A and B are shown apart, each in its own frame.
Chain A
Amino acid sequence: MNDGIISSIIGPTGPEQRRLANRVMENALNQAGLPFEAITYLVATGYGRINVPFADKQVTEISCHAKGVAHLFPRCKTVIDVGGQDSKGITIAHGRPTDFVMNDKCAAGTGRFLEVIAEALGITIEDCGGMALKSKQPAQISNICTVFAEQEVVARLAEGVPLNDLVAGILESLASRISRMVNRIKVANEVVITGGGAKNAGLVKALSDKLGYATLVPPEPLITGAVGAALLGKDIVQKAMKNGLPLERKKRSLEEVKIL
């Protein structure tokens, strides 16, 4: 059991989660040059965690992000995960969550908001952060609904509002919704932002400004949860070995999944 990540795969989930779980596992094993039997323990996380049939254990993202971020930033006390379909705030202590808050009700507080607006503006998500940082006067986006905000942004663009200002305005709106939610828990240094949103420099800056805290970002924010899941798995294995107890595991086989 060496430290360090041997291989990692990132990709869109899509509707056929079980088939994807198999494919991702195969790709990761190929990249690592390992057979499936070599995996000592497997932990699945995320909304699709129940669709990983070969997982030995399923753990929520809350615990996995807490563990993953604490491993990368041992002094972290607050985690903000800005995902594609939800956003979360987690307070942690000793690598474990002590409190959390989630937005799973409204897309306007998630990465999906940004995806919809970026598409409407004809830009890529990757460009958004840089564009926002160039803005001197972020536009005020009044709508709280993603779909209506999209409409508003397109109309403002037609009026001649600079694209950079619009993008900055959208990120401010997103940061505002996320920070209002996160402020329900006790924010304290160090604050780490993870998830896809952490790759957006403009969003990271907007969040830092709104929260009033400097923020840190992991080198690859999209796999923090998976890192945490692996580390939790490692803890389970080490504990079992220490106590001389057997490990409950699933059969190591990747079956062809027939979708109806």
Chain B
Amino acid sequence: MAEEEKKQERKKRRTATEAASSIGAMVKAAIGGTVRAKQEGKKVAYAFIVCCYDEIIRAMDVVPVWTENFAGVCGAKRDAERFLERAESQSLSRSLCTYALCGLGFDQWREELGEMPPDAPWGGQARPDFMLSSGQILCDPRNKWYQAAQQYMPDVPIYDVGLPYPLYEDDIQVADVQDYYIKYIVAELRGLVKFLEEQTGKKMDYDRLRELVDLGERTWNLIWETYDLRRAVPTPMGTGDAMNTMVPMCFMMGTQEAYDFFVKLNKELKDKIAKKEGVVEDEKYRLLWGGGLPSWFALTDFNYFNSKGAVFPVETTYRTIEPVYRLNMPDTDDPIERLAWRWLGYWTYWYDKAKKRPGSEPDVERLIQYIEDYQIDGIVMHEAFSCRTWHLGLIWQLNQLRKIYKPIPVLILGQDGKKREEKRELPSLILESDIIDISTYSEVDTRNRIDAFIETLEQVRKNRANRR
């Protein structure tokens, strides 16, 4: 009976691809590697993802400690609570970015003990020699987190690299203002190089940097082509896997290992497509993960969706690349300039397209493109309460999408008794939880919402006027 069955073990998460399943070991090795690097006297830096400096760090042989990644690991292992509580005891609000709270709680504990906290996940977070913040518009913890960490490590210097990009405006063309932004970003990156040279006592090898930037660009293109394979029906890979494969994209850019990983994934997806092997045997609903960082402690929810025949061929989260050959980059040999153009090109990629559709906006335009390219039946968004930066506009995006984009034809009975065709918006679901703080999450409620959403999708499918 159910009372006996209820004491189940937590179900192990399943990935659709072998590539994704190899990530855990890679991350564990990388985290262990940072601790060893520190012991060997190599320079170790706290770093954030998507800050334009991956290749610069690698070219200087600085070993990055990706603090967001470490927090994600704590969250996935469901071992973040003690670090969150520690941060809270330092009078940091529980409403702050829980990546930051987890990291700060860990750092405070490590510094107090003079060694890693007990049973530190995967060996723990190595003490940095310096910390690399970023003043990009995106995320204010990127300015403040390491400043807060400096309370516990006052001897560790910070370099903050400013990475602006023009905000979307109806009456401003990127081409008219881009030169100013490029000049600014290039100056910031050169300042970072100078800081790293001072900290490491080495000079930047620009030939090496050029090679790594070139490798990074090839990796961007390869990732884009690989993810594009997921358009296939049935899709060979879902967002659950992508939350693993984001690791080489975001934490290993500019390394041969990252490039080789995507060569392997590309091949694996092509093999699956040839054999018509999808994420699920009976693919019923194709969903877009339209926004929101995932609940790292509840990635098994993707398997729950799968169990209902729902797959996620595409997501916006952690898809931090676009094809470089479409970024309108000028011909320049300077690797720093190339990084700056790549940055600007990525963040303004959807602007021109958005201007062509009344009521649209870059994030909404991106959703529409993915809906059409990947044959999407519904959208799921995750509102992670502690991250307003990434999550603030999600409901607005859904509302705007509903207003301007109604792709589903349905037949309705008019007052005159005749059937007529009407266009309807895509069904959408909003999940509410957090990235690291599991106390915000209710499996019962989340799955209840998923069940109701699946029923809605089924009804829309039945009512579709033109069946696919």
Footprint of B on A, CB under 8 Å? 18, 47, 50-51, 53, 59-63, 93-94, 96-102, 104-105, 184, 186, 257-260
Taking each of A50, A100, A101, A257, which has the highest tally of chain B beta carbons within 10 Å of its own beta carbon? A100
B452 x A63 contact (CB < 8 A): yes
> Which among B1, B3, B455 is the interface contact of A62 at CB below 8 angstroms?
B455
A99 x B2 contact (CB < 8 A): no
B402: nearest chain-A partner, CB-CB: A186
A60 x B2 contact (CB < 8 A): no
> Which among A53, A93, A101, A102 is the interface contact of B2 at CB below 8 angstroms?
A53
B419 to chain A, nearest CB (A): 12
> Which among B2, B427, B430, B442 is the interface contact of A50 at CB below 8 angstroms?
B2
List A contacts of B4 (CB < 8 A).
260
Is B21 interfacial (CB-CB < 8 Å)?
no
List A contacts of B445 (CB < 8 A).
102, 104-105
User: In the complex the two chains form, what is the Cα distance from A16 to B449 in whole Å?
Assistant: 23
Is B428 interfacial (CB-CB < 8 Å)?
yes
Q: Say which size band chain B's interface belongs to.
A: 20 to 34
User: In the complex the two chains form, what is the Cα distance from A98 to B426 in whole Å?
Assistant: 9
B456 x A97 contact (CB < 8 A): yes
List A contacts of B430 (CB < 8 A).
101
A97 x B455 contact (CB < 8 A): yes
> Which among A60, A186, A257 is the interface contact of B448 at CB below 8 angstroms?
A60
Scoring B residues 367 to 402 as 1 if CB is less than 8 Å from chain A, else 0, what string do you get? 000000000000000000000000000010000001
Other than the given A18-B2, A104-B449, A105-B445, 5 more pairs (CB < 8 A) read A61-B452, A62-B452, A97-B456, A102-B449, A258-B1
Is B463 interfacial (CB-CB < 8 Å)?
yes
Known contacts A18-B2, A50-B2, A257-B1, A97 near B448 by CB under 8 Å: no
> Which among B2, B432, B444, B452 is the interface contact of A97 at CB below 8 angstroms?
B452
B449 x A184 contact (CB < 8 A): no
List B contacts of A51 (CB < 8 A).
2
Which residues from 421 to 468 on chain B have a C-beta closer than 8 Å to any C-beta of chain A?
424, 427-428, 430, 432, 442, 444-445, 448-449, 451-453, 455-456, 459-460, 463
User: In the complex the two chains form, what is the Cα distance from A168 to B310 in whole Å?
Assistant: 45
User: In the complex the two chains form, what is the Cα distance from A29 to B288 in whole Å?
Assistant: 46
A99 x B452 contact (CB < 8 A): no
A97: nearest chain-B partner, CB-CB: B456
A136 to chain B, nearest CB (A): 36
B340 to chain A, nearest CB (A): 40
A47 x B432 contact (CB < 8 A): no
Known contacts A18-B1, A18-B2, A104-B442, A47 near B448 by CB under 8 Å: yes
B463 x A96 contact (CB < 8 A): yes
Scoring B residues 341 to 371 as 1 if CB is less than 8 Å from chain A, else 0, what string do you get? 0000000000000000000000000000000
For the complex, would chain B's binding face be called helix, strand, loop or mixed by DSSP majority?
A: helix
A120 to chain B, nearest CB (A): 26
B452 x A60 contact (CB < 8 A): yes
List A contacts of B452 (CB < 8 A).
60-63, 97, 100, 102
User: In the complex the two chains form, what is the Cα distance from A186 to B406 in whole Å?
Assistant: 14
A259 x B459 contact (CB < 8 A): no
User: In the complex the two chains form, what is the Cα distance from A201 to B146 in whole Å?
Assistant: 54
List A contacts of B442 (CB < 8 A).
104
Known contacts A105-B432, A257-B1, A98 near B448 by CB under 8 Å: no
> Which among B3, B427, B432, B455 is the interface contact of A260 at CB below 8 angstroms?
B3
A selection of 8 A-B contacts at a CB cut-off of 8 Å is A18-B3, A50-B2, A60-B451, A62-B452, A93-B412, A96-B463, A101-B430, A102-B452
Known contacts A51-B2, A53-B2, A105-B432, A98 near B455 by CB under 8 Å: no
A99 x B456 contact (CB < 8 A): yes
Which residues from 59 to 102 on chain B have a C-beta closer than 8 Å to any C-beta of chain A?
none
List B contacts of A63 (CB < 8 A).
452, 455-456, 459
User: In the complex the two chains form, what is the Cα distance from A96 to B432 in whole Å?
Assistant: 24
A98 x B460 contact (CB < 8 A): yes
A13 to chain B, nearest CB (A): 14
User: In the complex the two chains form, what is the Cα distance from A60 to B429 in whole Å?
Assistant: 15
User: In the complex the two chains form, what is the Cα distance from A104 to B459 in whole Å?
Assistant: 24
B2 x A98 contact (CB < 8 A): no
Known contacts A104-B442, A257-B1, A98 near B427 by CB under 8 Å: yes
> Which among A98, A105, A259 is the interface contact of B3 at CB below 8 angstroms?
A259
B413: nearest chain-A partner, CB-CB: A94
B454: nearest chain-A partner, CB-CB: A60
A50 to chain B, nearest CB (A): 7
B395 x A184 contact (CB < 8 A): yes
User: In the complex the two chains form, what is the Cα distance from A105 to B424 in whole Å?
Assistant: 29
A62 x B456 contact (CB < 8 A): yes
B444: nearest chain-A partner, CB-CB: A47
> Which among B424, B432, B444 is the interface contact of A98 at CB below 8 angstroms?
B424
B450: nearest chain-A partner, CB-CB: A60
B81 to chain A, nearest CB (A): 19
A98 x B459 contact (CB < 8 A): yes
B1 x A98 contact (CB < 8 A): no
For the complex of A and B, 4 pairs with smallest distance between CB atoms? A62-B452, A96-B459, A60-B452, A104-B445
A99 x B1 contact (CB < 8 A): no
List B contacts of A186 (CB < 8 A).
402
B364 to chain A, nearest CB (A): 17
A17: nearest chain-B partner, CB-CB: B2
A94 x B463 contact (CB < 8 A): yes
Known contacts A51-B2, A53-B2, A62-B455, A99 near B448 by CB under 8 Å: no
List A contacts of B448 (CB < 8 A).
47, 60, 102, 104
User: In the complex the two chains form, what is the Cα distance from A51 to B3 in whole Å?
Assistant: 10
Which residues from 321 to 339 on chain B have a C-beta closer than 8 Å to any C-beta of chain A?
none
A53 to chain B, nearest CB (A): 7
Taking each of B444, B455, B463, which has the highest tally of chain A beta carbons within 10 Å of its own beta carbon? B455
A187 to chain B, nearest CB (A): 13
